[in-house]
A = this chain, B = another copy of it.
C-alpha cells in the first residue's frame, strides 16, 4: 500500500516517548485540555476502559465484593488520623479551601485514595464478628498532584477501582490480599494479554500506611517496567487509628484486619506499550471495542455493500463488528484501522463475492488469508483466539529476552547502559543498598517475586548475606 496513506507516527526505536504520545493522540484515545495534567478520555479510549471495567467488576463481584460510593472530599483532620498515610499523601493532594463565596473553616482534600473514608464508615457499621468480613469496592476518580504527567501513565486525575475490606484475622486478610492480587494478575494475563510478575514490594516502595504491598509488574516495549496493580495488607494500623473494633467469637474486643487494592486507567498505558508497534495501537481481541472491521472493496459495484452488511449482521452474535462504508480510499482505511489496533480486518469485494469468500488480515502479524463464507464464524473465532494468545506469547518472550541476572553492581550498570531491561539480582534486605542501586543505575526495586531463585549468595550491592532475589528496572 502506498506510503502517502501512512499516518505519521514516530518510530518507537527512535523515540519511544514520542511514539507513545503519537499513538494515544492518533488512535484518538485521549485529548488534552486546559486543565494541566488532566486528560480527556475520548470515545475510543473510554470504550476500552468500559470493557476492562465490565470484566474486572464481574470478577470482583464473583469473589464476593459489593460496590459502594464514598465522598470525593476528605476533611484535613480525617486524613491526618493515620500518621504514615498522611505523610505519604500530603505532598500530592489538591485542597479545596472555598465553597461558593465562603472560605471553609477546615480544608478538604480531593481524595487521593479512600482508606480514611472507609475507615470512618467501617467504625460505624462494624460491631461484631457477625458483621465480618466486609468486602467493599468502589469505582471512582482520584486526584494526585503530580508534577510531570503523561496520558494514562501519570495524570492529575485518574479513574480506578479501590477495594477496601475488613476481616476477623490477620490470616484471612492476608488471604484476601493474595486473592485480589490473583484477580489482577489474571485480568492482565487472560484479558489484556500482559504477562506479569507477582511479588512483594520492598518496605521502601510499599503503600503509605500498609504493613506490606503486593504488586503485579509488567515490562514495556522499551525495557522499562510498570507497576500494573497493587494489593495491600494494612494490618490493624487504620483500624487502630479509626477505632474499628468488633466483639470476636470469644466476646473480646479486637481491631479488624484490613486490606486495600486498586486497578487504574494506567493499565491502558501498559497495554499500549506492551502490544503497540510502529503502525500504531495493537489491541488484544478481548478488550478491543471493534474486533473485526469490515472494509467493502469497490463498494460502488452492485451488491457489494449489501453483501458486506449481511456479513456484519451474520457476525454480530459472535464478535464486535464494525464496517466502514465511507467514501474514503481503501489505503486510508487500512492504515486507520491499523492505527486503531483493530485485531482483524475483513475485506470483501466483487471477486470475493463470486468466489464465496472473504479476505482476513491479522493486525498482530499482518498475515492475509482467504476464508470461505461457509466456515466464516469458525475461522473468525479461531483467529481472534490466536491473536489473543499470540500477543501474550510475544510479550512473554520479550520479557524473557529482556531479563538478565547479575551478581555485581558493575554488571548491573553495564547491562542497563546497553538498554533498559529487567534485572534479576540478590539483595540483602537493606534499603541503603536499594538507594545506592537507584543512584548508580537509575533502577528501582520492582518486587521481591513470589517465585524466588538463588542467583548468588551475596547482595549485588554490599556483598552481605542475601535475603531475597529482587527484580529491578527503570520504571514508569
**Chain A contact residues, CB within 8 Å of chain B:** 31, 33-35, 38-43, 46-47, 49-50, 66-75, 78, 90-101, 107-108, 110, 117, 120-121, 124-125, 136, 140-141, 143, 145, 156-157, 159
Contacts A31-B124, A68-B43, A159-B69; is A95 near B97 (CB within 8 Å)?
A: yes
Asked whether A40 lies within 8 Å of B70 as measured between CB atoms, the reply is: yes
Which of A39, A97, A100, A136 has the largest count of B CB atoms less than 10 A from its CB? A100
Asked whether A46 lies within 8 Å of B67 as measured between CB atoms, the reply is: yes
Contacts of A94 in B (CB 8 A): 73, 96, 98-100, 108
Q: How many Å lie between the Cα of A110 and that of B109 in the bound state?
A: 12
Contacts of A35 in B (CB 8 A): 71, 73-75, 108, 117
Q: Which of B72, B90, B117 contacts A110 (CB 8 A)?
A: B72
What are 10 of the A-B contact pairs (CB < 8 Å)?
Answer: A35-B75, A38-B72, A41-B68, A46-B68, A47-B66, A72-B143, A95-B96, A96-B96, A96-B97, A100-B145
Asked whether B47 lies within 8 Å of A67 as measured between CB atoms, the reply is: yes
Q: How many Å lie between the Cα of A445 and that of B49 in the bound state?
A: 42
Contacts A70-B33, A73-B157; is A91 near B98 (CB within 8 Å)?
A: no
Which of A39, A93, A96 has the largest count of B CB atoms less than 10 A from its CB? A96
A137 to chain B, nearest CB (A): 10
Contacts of A92 in B (CB 8 A): 100
Q: Which of B33, B91, B98, B136 contacts A97 (CB 8 A)?
A: B98
Q: Which 8 A-B pairs have the closest CB atoms?
A: A38-B71, A43-B66, A99-B145, A41-B69, A95-B98, A35-B71, A100-B145, A97-B97
Contacts A33-B71, A120-B33; is A91 near B96 (CB within 8 Å)?
A: no
A285 to chain B, nearest CB (A): 21
Q: How many Å lie between the Cα of A262 and that of B84 in the bound state?
A: 40
Contacts A66-B43, A110-B96; is A71 near B101 (CB within 8 Å)?
A: no
Which of A31, A66, A94, A120 has the largest count of B CB atoms less than 10 A from its CB? A94
Contacts of A98 in B (CB 8 A): 94-95, 97, 107
Asked whether A69 lies within 8 Å of B50 as measured between CB atoms, the reply is: no
Q: How many Å lie between the Cα of A49 and that of B67 in the bound state?
A: 10
Which of A69, A91, A92 has the largest count of B CB atoms less than 10 A from its CB? A69
Q: How many Å lie between the Cα of A347 and that of B331 in the bound state?
A: 66
Contacts of A100 in B (CB 8 A): 90-94, 145
Contacts of A49 in B (CB 8 A): 69
